[in-house]
Amino acid sequence: MIKVGIVGGTGYTGVELLRILSQHPEVNIQAITSRKEAGMSVAELFPSLRGKIALEFSDPANTELDKCNVVFFATPNGIAMQQTKFLLDAGVRVIDLAADFRIQDVSEWEKWYGMPHACPDLLVEAIYGLPEVNRDKIRVARLVANPGCYPTAVQLGFLPLLETGIIDTDHLIADVKSGVSGAGRNAGVHTLFAEASDNFKAYGVPGHRHLPEIKQGLSNIADRLVGLTFVPHLTPMIRGIHATLYAKLTANVDLHALYENRYVNEPFIDVLPAGGHPETRSVRGSNFCRIAVHRPQDGDTVVILAVTDNLVKGAAGQAVQNMNLMFGFHETLGIDQIAQLP
């Protein structure tokens, strides 16, 4: 049994993390912090957790997080980097669900996130928490940078093609849709029901904060700098990521066999039968990524379809998957829930 702390447990990612960890047989949740809700019971804010979590939110300044075995940061960008060094020095392992440690280039991070990095020396140590790529490194990591929701779907979709070097890496296209929960729990006009419902739009076309993370990951897989056009979209649903990915083939291979062979031993990757079209509802509430690969009209363009739940495999579920690896538990422990349907 390990002692777990959560910093910032009041957002959508935080409550998803609580839902998962409260059912994990090897976890004892020690503390959940929130400056604003300090003193309020978790069940009062999140009635779904009544009878599962008896804790109150505590002020992070008065919480002994250094007594935990692992601390999750489900906080806005810029918070984890202020506290991580202290926790690591105390022997606590850290999993950051925000972006503080995802991008290795300090100047690139500061450009996209608009603030100086508080501990750039830790960027070298941080392991990018995509288990399908960095499983062995995650097992021994002290600090894991949990991937973003868009980057998870895009990288898993392109991964087999980049590893085998059978596509033109200069002109990759990622056309990706997200549910409204991806914008977080804070109030905003664009996420009001009257604004987001019955509506569909692209955003961030000139540049999105996840772009450098995706390019870094794809370039590391391909072992060369890739060219990527990334266009995110907001869809009128609560949960879900749907990535439609395009690349030009440079070799003639059995694409379906390539994907099946690459992911045959991956517990959370489901490659659909040839001709399949994955749906976001097929992964809702689960840690699965479902993928289909197509070659329209037997041409030289490959189209990959990848769906995930942005709050689970795109955030909290993947964080627990990383925790399982770090502490020697079975990788699927506590996160093998079947998707919710309807």
Query: How many independent structural domains does the chain possess?
Result: 2
Q: What percent of the chain has pLDDT over 70?
A: 100
Query: Using CA atoms, how far apart are residues 96 and 34, in angstroms rounded to an integer?
Result: 16
Query: Using CA atoms, how far apart are residues 303 and 152, in angstroms rounded to an integer?
Result: 17
**Residues 13, 51 share a domain:** yes
Nearest to 242 by CA among 208, 215, 278: 278
**Residues 260, 204 share a domain:** yes
Q: Is residue 232 part of a domain?
A: yes
Q: Token digits for 13?
A: 């990612």
Q: What is the value of pTM for the model shown? A: 0.96
**Residues 296, 167 share a domain:** yes
Q: Tell me: the pLDDT tens digits for 295-327?
A: 999 999 999 999 999 999 999 999 999 999 999
Q: How confident is the model at residue 15 (pLDDT cuts 50, 70, 90)?
A: very high
Sign of CA dihedral 246, 252, 256, 259: negative
**Residues 305, 163 share a domain:** yes
Q: Tell me: the pLDDT tens digits for 211-270?
A: 999 999 999 999 999 999 999 999 999 999 999 999 999 999 999 999 999 999 999 999
Instruction: Give me the pLDDT at residue 173, please.
Output: 98
**Residues 285, 156 share a domain:** yes
Q: Tell me: the pLDDT tens digits for 141-154?
A: 999 999 999 999 99
**Residues 79, 214 share a domain:** no
Instruction: Give me the pLDDT at residue 184, please.
Output: 81
The whole domain housing 15 covers 2-125
**Residues 247, 158 share a domain:** yes
Query: Using CA atoms, how far apart are residues 128 and 106, in angstroms rounded to an integer?
Result: 15
Residue 196 has pLDDT above 90, yes or no: no
**Residues 167, 269 share a domain:** yes
Instruction: Give me the pLDDT at residue 114, please.
Output: 95
Q: How confident is the model at residue 185 (pLDDT cuts 50, 70, 90)?
A: confident
Residue 3 has pLDDT above 80, yes or no: yes
Is 316 within 8 Å of 13 (Cβ atoms)? yes
**Residues 253, 302 share a domain:** yes
Q: What is the mean pLDDT of residues 26-49?
A: 95
Q: Which CATH number covers residue 155?
A: 3.30.360.10
Q: Which CATH number covers residue 66?
A: 3.40.50.720
**Residues 209, 254 share a domain:** yes
Q: Is residue 282 part of a domain?
A: yes
133-153 burial string, b = 16+ CB within 10 Å, else e?
Answer: bbeeebbebbbbbbbbbbbbb
Q: Is residue 37 part of a domain?
A: yes
Is 132 within 8 Å of 153 (Cβ atoms)? no
Sign of CA dihedral 186, 123, 161, 262: negative
**Residues 91, 20 share a domain:** yes
Instruction: Give me the pLDDT at residue 137, please.
Output: 98
**Residues 289, 156 share a domain:** yes
Instruction: Give me the pLDDT at residue 186, please.
Output: 77
Options 68, 119, 149, 289, the catalytic residue: 149
Of the ranges 37-41, 85-89, 194-198, 303-307, which one carries the lowest mean pLDDT score?
194-198
Q: Is residue 131 part of a domain?
A: no
Q: Residues 324, 134, 147, 228: what is their CA dihedral angle, to the nearest 10 degrees? A: -160
Helix axis angle, 210-222 to 149-164, nearest 10°:
20
Q: Is residue 130 part of a domain?
A: no
Q: Is residue 133 part of a domain?
A: no
Q: Tell me: the pLDDT tens digits for 111-134?
A: 999 999 999 999 999 999 999 999
H helices of 117-191, where? 131-139, 149-164
Computed over every residue of the chain, the mean pLDDT equals 96
Q: Is 289 a catalytic residue?
A: no
**H/E segment holding residue 304:** strand 301-308
